[in-house]
Structure 1
């Protein structure tokens, strides 16, 4: 099965130029949502500021099995995001498993990247890294909230694998996408995720967020995603 131009659920891309920054509101390229969210700059300025907690106790498993089916659509989260973000998608396994497609373009680099299952150059990035979240409030959450966070489409984007691995668990103060035209959208997504889940930011992180978003004061927060608690069947670590 082939879906030309991305997943059937993805609308046509609406690109809105805002103060020299491109805001992507729907379509391929990352966390989705309408443009009716709060202004990203105002939301960033309202985020609570604390120091980074120790990374002690962090483990990927604390956020549940990778790519759980938290929305109960019988597809894992990874395939859901690939279907959302890739163009020219091809499937196997009854229309759930994505076997190939193209990032057209990759939001982090602005270049086209080919996805072929098993030898992919595409990763699914947590816009707010799990380790970063752990050090800024997630270690205090119950397991259901951590699983929801790790699988929330608002916090997930298909990107070039090499660029994603260079990012690591960096926050806005330490890493921004090389593609400058995507930075406002990227930082707005980080702000939206941290606001939704009640995570704090460091002072350096907040300064970096406001510096980016000051250049695009009309940038809106992406909206939507999953509830902040996974279904009860996912509540075990």
Structure 2
């Protein structure tokens, strides 16, 4: 019997961000966010950025280092099956892809070998096959990009918090490679998903991550996120 649980976000007090993952069927077949997520509802008149500080504009620094957020994915994350020997990338693929088959690699006993991504950014259907060129067609995006977080204040965080941010499932989505490359480290004022039907989820999730990590947002991006959240149905 195929059961359903809604995948969505909740910000904890302080710096913790939790995510509840929607599941369709057994532990061997976790549903993808894009395929199954329910559009969130918001209260009439609610501000999606409530509690998020605003700054006039993003000031890009020349000191960003990807290594400041860790050299690679780790296994210390809250994704389904975390602490299972599989790094965060493999856990997010298992969470977000559908029609999956698995293979054991290194210390990961259940890495996705093949699967299907219903890309939230473009609404395209993308096939994933580990080890060939289609593997690069599915990438893991940081909704709030690492370089953006750096400019918004993460440069002053302790190393452990930056590592946590880089591997937080609440800030991660499996997406198609092309829109992920197009997005780069841009803030919402300069890039939003081409699939406008996903703008509600994107805005709400982006705001939850900002709030959970006490990050501000630039005024232009705040306007875009509020407009996008305006497409959400009201509770």
Q: What interval of TM-score do these two structures reach, taking the shorter chain for normalisation?
A: 0.7 to 0.9
Q: Are 2:211 and 1:195 aligned?
A: yes
| Root mean square deviation, CA, Å | 2.9
SS of structure 2 residue aligned to 1:91: strand
Q: How does 1:15-54 map to 2 (within 5 A)?
A: 26=22, 27-29=31-33, 41-50=46-55, 51-54=57-60
TM-score by length of 1: 0.75
State the partner residue of 1:109: 122
| Separation in structure 1 between the aligned mates of residue 167 and residue 42 of structure 2, nearest angstrom | 23
CA deviations 1:142-185 (Å, max 9, x no partner) are 00000000000000000110111011111111111111111110
**Alpha-carbon distance in 2 for matches of 1:153, 1:147:** 12
Unaligned runs of 5+ in 2: 8-20, 23-30, 78-82
Q: Deviations over 1:35-84 (max 9, x none)?
A: 99986952414310123233222111000022111132211000000000
Provide the rounded CA distance (Å) in 2 between the counterparts of 1:194 and 1:44: 9
Q: How does 1:184-223 map to 2 (within 5 A)?
A: 184-216=200-232, 218=234
TM-score w.r.t. the length of structure 2 is 0.76
**3-state DSSP class of the match of 1:124?**
strand
Q: How does 1:84-103 map to 2 (within 5 A)?
A: 84-93=95-104, 95-103=109-117
- Higher normalized contact order (CA 8 Å, seq sep 6+, divided by chain length): 1
* Number of the residue aligned with 1:153: 169
> 2-side partners of 1:41 and 1:76: how far apart?
37
Q: Are the structure 2 counterparts of residues 101 and 41 from structure 1 closer, same or farther at C-alpha, using a change threshold of 3 Å?
A: farther
Deviation at 1:96, TM superposition (A): 2.5
Taking the aligned partners of 2:200 and 2:96, their CA distance within structure 1 comes to: 18
> Which runs of no fewer than 5 residues in structure 1 stay unpaired?
6-10, 16-24, 220-237
